[in-house]
Structure formats: C-alpha cells, structure tokens
Amino acid sequence: MIRKDPVLEHEWHPVAIAADVSDTPKQVIVLGEKVVIFRTKQGVKAMKDLCIHRGVPLSLGRVENDQIVCAYHGWCYDGDGRCVRIPSLPPTQAIPLKAKTHTYPCTEQHGFVWVCLGEPREELPPLAGKVEEALLPIWMGPYPVQASAPRVIENFLDVSHLMFVHEGLLGDSEFAEIKDYNVHQVDGALITDEIVVFQPDPDGRGVGVNNRYIYEIYTPCCVKLVKRSEGSEEEFHLFLIVLPETETTCTAFMLQLRNYSPEVPDQVFIDFQNTLLEQDKRIVEEQKPELLPLDLQAELHLKCDRVAIAYRRRLRELGVTIGTD
C-alpha cells in the first residue's frame, strides 16, 4: 500500500502527452491509484479504473458514444462516471443508483493531460503562466523510471553530476568545480542564481563555452532549467514534470523550449534527451535509500548542493510523504 500524501493528492499530475490520448482507454497510475483516461467530445475524462460490477479495469474496455464500455459485461459509464446502460438488465428494471465509478478532475494544458486525485489546490496545473509561447516546444515522455519521484527531480536539479554522468555531452570532469550560488524565493518558487558550467569543446570547433544554468522549483514534482551560453542569444528551457506512481516508481515528462535551430527536426532533440535520461536512470535507479531523506543530517551536502537542500527543505515544510523519508 502507498501512504496517503496530503500534499500531492491535491496537486495536478501529468499523466500523458495530450496528443497521445485518444478514445482508446489507457490506464495510468497516480499516487498508487489506478486511473483510466480516455478522450470524449467533451474533453479527456479520468475515472477510477474499476468497474463496480465485478471489479474489472475499465481500461480493458472501449469507448463508444463518449461512454466507456466495460469489457466483461458491457456496462456503460458516461463521462461523469455514472452507469447509463446495463445490457443484461430487462428494460423494465432501473439501473441501480449506486452504479457509479469515481471520477477525478482532469484537464488538458500546455500539451499534457493532468489529473488530480483530490480537490485541486490550484485551479490550473503548474505550467500555467510559465511557458514562453514564443519559443519552439517539444513534448517528451512518458519515461518510466524505477526510482522515487523526488529522487528523479533532485537529480535534475543536481548541477555537479553533469560533468560525470553526462561527460562530453553537458560537461567535462576536468572542469567540475562549481562556484558558489544562492537559491531565492520568488513568488512561491525557488530559483537559483546563474550557475556556470564550462564545456571545453561542445561542438568540436575547439572553442570552450560557459553554459549558465538557472534552476526553478515550482511544486514538488515540477521544475525547470533555463540554459544560456555566454556570447550567444540562444535560450533553452526544459521543464521536468514527474508523475509519482508508487513510493519508488514514477514516470517523467519533459517540455523543451528553444529559440534557435528551427530547421532541426524534433527527433534530434528527443534522441539527445533520451540519451541523457538513460545515463541518469543508471544512477537514480540504484540510489539508496530509495526514499529521498528529508532529514538534512542524513546525507552529506556541499555548498554546490544548495538547490538540493532547498528542495528537501521545501518538501519537508510542505509535508510531502510519497518517495521521501
């Protein structure tokens, strides 16, 4: 059993890239709950993935006339979770009022489908107002990871791993020193100063580049990286949003935005991020303890880990339980 999380239960979680959601029902796991999502003319619906007749997942069924039809005995549920047809019932008998499955708040925003298990704390999902529309977007995921959501987020915020885990792609282990930086609170978000990462020869021209990274933490499972290079107008934004499935598993999604190289096919960027993610998975899937320790005495921290420390503090203040210890 998964612990109830008083914080994450009221957050919006990304469950799919919107373009991937059709009228074919799909099961997703949100904080240990099995949820079925499917597209109707009234938008994407999310409900408990369980037929109340004999407990079969509704995701095994199909969608017809915007209703989900159970694969076992054909009960039909409308978008509000009400059973509106029981084929084996003679027409003289009414459908029991209790024939209803639980629905969840579900919305489409910034190219993702979002689900909240409880009462949404915020009206809109966490990307609202944070995506620069002028930039070129690419949606990435789902990426299943066998690690806790907070471990995956913290890895993304970890600047001093770039030169080791992603050596040659994002940094060089000969230039591993991180200058001191601070983390600030701005409108409820945690935002770092610019952190410089030197890359001796990123594109084979024999010229070194100082990359400047800014990390922003919005919610326990939604963070952003802004990357700029010295002497260049290029701007790169990467949102990481993670769906906590169980204490020790999650699914990551990313939204990448850029203002350069419009001619380069999306797949080139997707392949690059896939490579980075595989490199990260090797590490995070083996980290112990699996649950992120929120007691700051539990692991050793350096100044360059300031953003991780701020993240752990934030999780502790909020009272996040899933994936933490």
Q: Which of residues 251-290 bind Co ion (CB under 5 A)?
A: 280
Q: Which is nearer to Co ion, 172 or 280 (CB)?
A: 280
Strands, sheet with 13-17, edge to edge from the N-terminal-most edge strand:
13-17, 112-115, 106-109
Q: Is residue 154 involved in binding Co ion (CB under 5 A)?
A: no
DSSP state string for 185-252 = EETTEEEEPPEEEEES-TTSSS--EEEEEEEEEEETTEEEEEEEETT---EEEEEEEEEEEETTEEEE
Partner that binds at residue 228, options Co ion, ligand FES, none, CB closer than 5 to 8 Å by kind: none
Of 60, 39, 65, 41, nearest to 49 by C-alpha is 60
**Structural contact between residues 222 and 239, judged by C-beta atoms closer than 8 angstroms:** yes
Of ligand FES, Co ion, none, which one sits near residue 280, judging by CB under 5 to 8 A according to partner kind? Answer: Co ion
Sign of CA dihedral 157, 159, 160, 166: positive
- Closer by beta carbon to ligand FES, 34 or else 53: 53
Task: Provide, rounded to whole angstroms, the least separation between the CB of residue 92 and ligand FES.
Answer: 20
Burial group, residue 68, by CB count within 10 angstroms (0-12, 13-18, 19+): buried
One symbol per residue from 55 to 84: x for binding ligand FES (CB under 6 A), - otherwise; what is it? -x-------------x-xx-x---------
Report the residue number, 47 or 197, with the smaller CB distance to ligand FES: 47
| Residue 106, both tokens | 């579900």
Maximum Cα–Cα distance across the chain: 82
Residue 73 interacting partner from Co ion, ligand FES, none (CB closer than 5 to 8 Å by kind): ligand FES
Residue 56 touches which of ligand FES, Co ion, none (CB < 5 to 8 A by kind)? ligand FES
Residue 51: contacted member of ligand FES, Co ion, none (CB under 5 to 8 Å, by partner type): ligand FES
Kindly determine how many residues on this chain lie close enough to bind ligand FES according to the rule CB under 6 A: 8
Name the one residue in this structure whose structure tokens are 């601070």: 182
Contacts of 221 (CB under 8 A, 6+ apart): 8, 11, 13, 149, 150, 153, 241, 242, 243, 244
CB 26 to ligand FES: min, Å: 18
Q: What is the DSSP letter of 324?
A: B
- From the CB of 277, what's the least distance to Co ion, in Å? 8
Which residue, 21 or 284, is less far from Co ion as judged by CB?
284
Q: Is residue 237 within 8 Å of residue 137, measured between CB atoms?
A: no
Q: Pick from 3, 4, 54, 316 the residue near ligand FES by CB under 6 A.
A: 54
Task: At 87, list the tokens.
Answer: 């084929």
For the bound state, the minimum distance from the C-beta of residue 126 to ligand FES, rounded and expressed in Å, comes to 35
Question: Quick one: what does residue 72 bind among Co ion, ligand FES, none, with the CB cut-off 5 to 8 Å set by partner type?
Answer: ligand FES
**Residue 53 found at the interface with ligand FES (CB under 6 A):** yes
Smallest gap from Cβ 70 to ligand FES, in A, equals: 3
Q: Which residues bind Co ion (CB under 5 A)?
A: 280
Could you list the residues that contact ligand FES (CB under 6 A)? 51, 53-54, 56, 70, 72-73, 75
